[in-house]
């Protein structure tokens, strides 16, 4: 029951009525109070309660020798409400009335202020300088006094004071999105209604409450809940849904999923390539839904590195749909995002204050054509080639979606088992001659037993796929093919000179059409840049390029002969004989030539022989023999 400010049953005289009106005016003017507020019976003191000190209202009444006929205890409640005028008062009331444990003010290593508060049996972590925090403050103020009115300036004052306390007096604690690793345990935020987490250790995994976790997770707009993992079947349920990719690609896809749950990275870039109707976009959405569910499962390519980094801070996995290509600047940005990179930008254009970002994220890209052929980019990629579904073999996405939702908990459980195995074995894994993205290769190799693979099975598949990516990179730089021909043509398999003389020499080993193309370097410095970029792929194929830092700035190129698997002249002759047997019109591109050679010749015994086949393919194609 609520009570009125004035006793309605008391006899009202003209003077008393005049006194009440005057008190109402004083209250409204001095304290900005409602003249006749409804008070809650639980918070209203008993009638007859006295006050040790006379209030301004009481002093006014005594001066006019009037005996008040209203309850001063109601005025006392109002006085308590208006005492909520400082952020400290607000903090204490929220802590005493609503919190199940003490709220915590803290800051991240980047000095971003946060509040960690437990009002419903779990912690919520809210950035203080955000609209979310302002909305939360407004909600708490309504809970404290439903009839109170608080201007925006009061909430901004709370933000300013609490933010200062968090940055200068609170502990430093990092915040995480979806996944985090603390010491030898990995934590996954399920984002369900009770904020539960999955804790994965070398002994297994279990679901815990976030009040028992050392990790501070934050929620970003669009993030959806993940299913609770199940131990029923495992990750095989996922690969069984994919009928149009080969076994090697299934191994790479599984490796990508296991690597995506390792919060410290690095993360390879998954490129899904295929013809129209092969299900590229659908597979991308399934992967995103498994690792980082979102209301927006796909996105377009950002226009700048700044937009890319901001997108990365707001989700765990980025999924870019239907790409036709990436420019050089964005390719470099994705390389940094794959292995972990920092970014600086001004906080406001009117000052010099900076915002700092440091992120590493798993990325998915899909498209019909090659997204890029840059060697340094492809070194960080896993390429999956999807075949087009034959007529009559298509399955409706709605039917696949039903099966997906049914098996998703056990697929996620299988990933948790694999990650647990990786945590147990990672420190004991020793890979001879580790590949690029070595930490990723070690991580997946450590999980092989849980995935049902034999020892080093993943590394064998990974090596075969990297050779293919090397060929893609080589095809994009005609000067590299000409360089291979130059070295093969010299008796000592070695060449030394300046970039200028090397460019002149390479023109003799390329067709006029190739030299006139935009891919051919038009200046010595452009040649040096191309060779620097393609040097790792050349090295993988047995060609060494050394840049001497001297006044002459000479370049030395030679062929490695220490590998006993080097191709012989007879091997190359066999390749040339096959080219001569092919009739004009049978193929219309270098790639198709290579495909026919791969079918006609046994698998190359070394990387050098495969590259030799590629070089001979382009040579005969340019000369019009095919």
Q: What is the pLDDT of residue 393?
A: 65
Parallel, antiparallel or unpaired: strands 363-367 and 318-320: parallel
Confidence of residue 256 (pLDDT cuts 50, 70, 90): very high
Taking alpha carbons only, the member of 250, 228, 225 closest to residue 240 is: 250
Confidence of residue 270 (pLDDT cuts 50, 70, 90): very high
In the DSSP assignment, the letter for residue 211 is: G
Confidence of residue 346 (pLDDT cuts 50, 70, 90): low
Q: What is the pLDDT of residue 284?
A: 93
Q: Residue 557 in 3-state DSSP? A: strand
In the DSSP assignment, the letter for residue 147 is: T
Residue 396: its H or E element: none
pLDDT single digits (tens) 240-249: 777 778 889 9
- Poorest-confidence range of 282-296, 329-343, 605-619? 605-619
pLDDT value at 52 more than 60:
no
| Residues 535-564, mean pLDDT to the nearest whole number | 77
Q: What is the pLDDT of residue 24?
A: 57
HSE of 470, CA atoms in CB hemisphere, 13 A: 27
| Residues 529-557, mean pLDDT to the nearest whole number | 82
| Residues 429-452, mean pLDDT to the nearest whole number | 91
Mean pLDDT of the chain: 77
Rounded-to-integer distance, Cα 347 and Cα 272, Å: 36
Confidence of residue 205 (pLDDT cuts 50, 70, 90): very high
Q: What is the pLDDT of residue 77?
A: 36
Q: What is the pLDDT of residue 542?
A: 82
Residue 384: its H or E element: strand 381-386
- Poorest-confidence range of 23-37, 347-361, 489-503? 23-37
Confidence of residue 5 (pLDDT cuts 50, 70, 90): very low
Rounded-to-integer distance, Cα 462 and Cα 441, Å: 9
Helix (H) and strand (E) counts in the chain: 23, 18
Cα distances (angstroms) measured from residue 134 to each of 87, 141, 157, 193: 13, 11, 11, 22
Rounded-to-integer distance, Cα 19 and Cα 466, Å: 91
In the DSSP assignment, the letter for residue 302 is: P
Confidence of residue 83 (pLDDT cuts 50, 70, 90): low
| Residues 389-411, mean pLDDT to the nearest whole number | 81
In the DSSP assignment, the letter for residue 358 is: E
| Residues 401-419, mean pLDDT to the nearest whole number | 92
| Residues 492-500, mean pLDDT to the nearest whole number | 90
pLDDT single digits (tens) 162-199: 999 999 999 999 999 999 999 899 999 999 999 999 99
Residue 612 burial (CB count, 10 A):
22
| Residues 595-613, mean pLDDT to the nearest whole number | 45
Residue 182: its H or E element: strand 179-182
């Amino acid at each position: 029951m609520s009570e009125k400010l004035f006793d309605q049953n008391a006899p009202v005289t003209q003077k008393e009525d005049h006194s009440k009106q005057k008190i109402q005016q004083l209250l409204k003017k001095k304290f900005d109070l409602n003249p006749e507020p409804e008070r809650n019976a639980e918070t209203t003191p008993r009638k007859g309660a006295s006050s040790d000190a006379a209030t301004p209202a009481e002093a006014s009444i005594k001066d006019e020798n009037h005996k008040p006929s209203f309850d001063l205890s109601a005025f006392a409640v109002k006085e308590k409400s208006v005492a909520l005028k400082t952020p400290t008062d607000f903090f204490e009331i929220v802590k005493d009335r609503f919190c199940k444990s003490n709220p915590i003010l803290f800051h991240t290593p980047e000095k971003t202020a946060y509040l960690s508060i437990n009002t419903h049996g779990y912690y919520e972590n809210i950035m203080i300088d955000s609209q979310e925090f302002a909305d939360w403050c407004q909600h708490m103020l309504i809970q404290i006094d439903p009839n109170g009115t608080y201007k925006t300036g009061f909430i901004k004052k709370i933000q300013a004071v609490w933010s200062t306390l968090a940055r200068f007096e609170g502990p430093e604690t990092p915040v995480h999105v979806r996944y985090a690793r603390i010491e030898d345990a990995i934590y996954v935020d399920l984002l369900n209604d009770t904020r539960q987490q999955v804790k994965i250790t070398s002994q297994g995994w279990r679901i815990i409450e976030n009040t028992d976790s050392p990790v501070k997770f934050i929620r970003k707009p669009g993030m959806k809940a993940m299913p609770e993992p199940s131990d029923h079947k495992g990750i095989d349920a996922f690969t069984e849904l994919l009928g149009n990719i080969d076994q090697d690609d299934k191994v790479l896809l599984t490796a990508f999923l296991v690597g995506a749950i390792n919060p410290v990275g690095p993360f390879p870039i998954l490129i899904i390539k295929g013809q129209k109707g092969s299900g590229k976009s659908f597979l991308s959405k399934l992967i995103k839904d498994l690792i980082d569910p979102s209301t927006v499962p796909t996105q377009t390519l950002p226009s700048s590195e700044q937009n890319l980094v901001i997108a990365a801070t707001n989700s765990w996995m980025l999924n870019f749909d239907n790409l036709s290509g990436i420019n050089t600047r964005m390719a470099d940005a994705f390389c940094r995002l794959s292995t972990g990179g920092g970014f600086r930008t001004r906080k406001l254009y009117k000052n010099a204050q900076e915002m700092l970002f440091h992120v590493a994220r798993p990325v998915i890209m899909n498209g019909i054509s090659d997204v890029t052929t840059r060697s340094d980019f492809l070194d960080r990629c896993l390429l999956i080639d999807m075949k087009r579904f034959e007529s009559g073999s298509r399955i409706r996405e709605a039917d696949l979606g039903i099966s997906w939702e049914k098996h998703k908990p056990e697929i996620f459980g299988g990933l948790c088992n694999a990650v647990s195995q990786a945590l147990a074995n990672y420190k004991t894994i020793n890979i001879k001659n580790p590949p690029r993205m070595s930490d990723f290769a070690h991580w997946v190799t450590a999980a092989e037993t849980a995935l049902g693979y034999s020892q080093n099975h993943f590394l064998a598949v990974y090596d075969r796929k990297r050779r293919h990516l090397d060929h893609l990179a080589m095809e994009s730089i005609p000067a590299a093919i000409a360089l291979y021909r130059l070295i093969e043509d010299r008796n000592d398999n070695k060449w030394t000179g300046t970039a200028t003389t090397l460019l002149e020499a390479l023109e003799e080993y390329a067709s006029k059409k190739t030299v006139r193309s935009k891919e051919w370097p038009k200046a010595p410095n452009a040649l040096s840049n191309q060779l620097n970029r393609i040097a790792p792929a050349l090295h993988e194929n047995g060609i060494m390029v050394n840049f001497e830092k001297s006044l002459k700035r000479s370049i030395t190129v030679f062929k490695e002969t220490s590998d006993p698997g080097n191709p012989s002249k007879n091997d190359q002759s066999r390749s040339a004989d096959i080219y001569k047997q092919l009739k004009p019109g049978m193929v219309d591109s270098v790639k198709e030539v290579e495909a026919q050679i791969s079918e006609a010749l046994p698998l190359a015994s070394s990387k050098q022989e495969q590259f030799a086949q590629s070089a001979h393919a382009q040579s005969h194609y340019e000369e019009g023999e095919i």
